[in-house]
Structure 1
Amino acid sequence: MGLDMYLEAKRYVAPCDAQTEPMRRAIGAAIGYVPPKEKPGEDASLLEVSGVTVRVGYWRKFDALHHWFVNNTQEGHDDCRAAFVSVDTLMELEDQLEQVSDDPASASEHFTTDEDETLDEDDVDYTLKVLHHAKRLQEQGWDIYYRASW
């Protein structure tokens, strides 16, 4: 067992929203559900696609990034619950990672690392790509969440 970390995009899918209709239809087809033309009464047995979650990024044992999220989105509580990540928080993380990318020795200024430890360049590059996708999804109305599990 170890630290698994996820950045996820979530979006509410309103039943009468023409913009999200193709998404609802595709998900319904994938799970073998075709909604009736009219929803009869308040039949709780009917399935309805009401939201979508997409994994934007996944890390394994990237402790410095995990501690950054705990301190910046979870108020210091490392409790494995999903935490909302605002646009400003994503931008702050991106700025700090770009600084580390330019000057690897600056990692300890922004991230909890052992003294003189630098972040792996591949992890930094991957995370910057993930943040780019997450910000693009935010612009399209998706909410971004960070969660981890031990």
Structure 2
Amino acid sequence: MTPRGGPPARPLKPGPARNAPAREALEALVAEPTREGVTRLLDACLAGSLVVDVTGSQPGGVPHVRTVATTTGEQVLPLFTSTDEVRAAVPRQQHPRVQMLVLPGREAFALIGTADFVAVQLDPGSIAQVIARSFIEDALGT
């Protein structure tokens, strides 16, 4: 076989990470808020992956998770069901600088134990559903 001419092939850029079952469960919870809906949402998150905004982290260093604060100053951990949802949460002109980390859902939820977070906020750029820390800890079994 003769080698083909031209430049070497470039690797494809990975597509967006997306946890469709978690997003569907999130939308269902917003439409009909129930304890069972929260359980379905948490199960879907744990079964898949979630995206963490680590914008501002230094390459090769420990990732720094961006957080949000409530009106009373309490810390909330923003997590996303897809990379597209991270982009929806930041102004378009900042998109080139956005840094993301895709984690298994269990690892993403476990970040709640790294600081005095009172809750997780899922998809803050769109639905912005807040789930209290106690629900996250129950789902993790902690």
What is the TM-score of this pair, normalised by structure 2? 0.24
Name which structure has the greater RCO, CA cutoff 8 Å, separation 6+. 1
